[in-house]
Amino acid sequence: MHVKKLGDFLDTGEGISRLMPQAAGLLTVRRALSAALPDYLLRSCAIANYKQGKVFVFVASSAVAARLRLLEPRMLEVLSKRGLNVTGLTIEVQPGYRFVAQVTEKKALRLSPDAARALSRAGEKLPEGALRRALDALAAKGD
């Protein structure tokens, strides 16, 4: 049997095109559940898969699993409101697994004073418009 490298598979159009719908579905499920669950639960669980109407969730402990099972009706309701055809959740405890927060926090943009001045000077050279306003807004975020 010929083994194909992952990079070769992803470089071909047919390889990545088959993965994209699954990746988009997982991302939609993750975003929906991020809005439905409290932060302390999000830090202790990971969406493992979404397949044939079932969402598979890995959790850090049996306590988190029990809490998620109590919230299952709410989670199914949120997912159905997002247009996903979810028939159930499968929650599995994965002790020792390092869970990474799935909620992406917005990072505050910090610019050095020199960078802020450079953006401000660049904005002064532009005519009035959207680009100038954007540069002025960025320059205002400088330290």
What is the pTM for the complete model shown? 0.56
Q: What gap in Å lies between CA 46 and CA 59, rounded to an integer?
A: 6
Q: Is 1 among the domain residues?
A: no
Q: What gap in Å lies between CA 102 and CA 107, rounded to an integer?
A: 15
Same domain, 89 and 130: no
User: Is residue 44's pLDDT more than 90?
Assistant: no
Task: Report the half-sphere exposure of 77 (CA within 13 A, side-chain side).
Answer: 6
Structural domain boundaries, residue 69: 6-93
Same domain, 116 and 88: no
Please report, as a single letter, which amino acid is at residue 97: Y
> 115 - beta bridge partners?
none
Question: What value does the mean pLDDT of the chain take?
Answer: 80
Determine the pLDDT at residue 136: 87
User: Is residue 24's pLDDT more than 90?
Assistant: no
User: Is residue 21's pLDDT more than 90?
Assistant: no
Q: Identify the residue whose tokens are 């975003």.
A: 31
Q: What gap in Å lies between CA 47 and CA 28, rounded to an integer?
A: 11
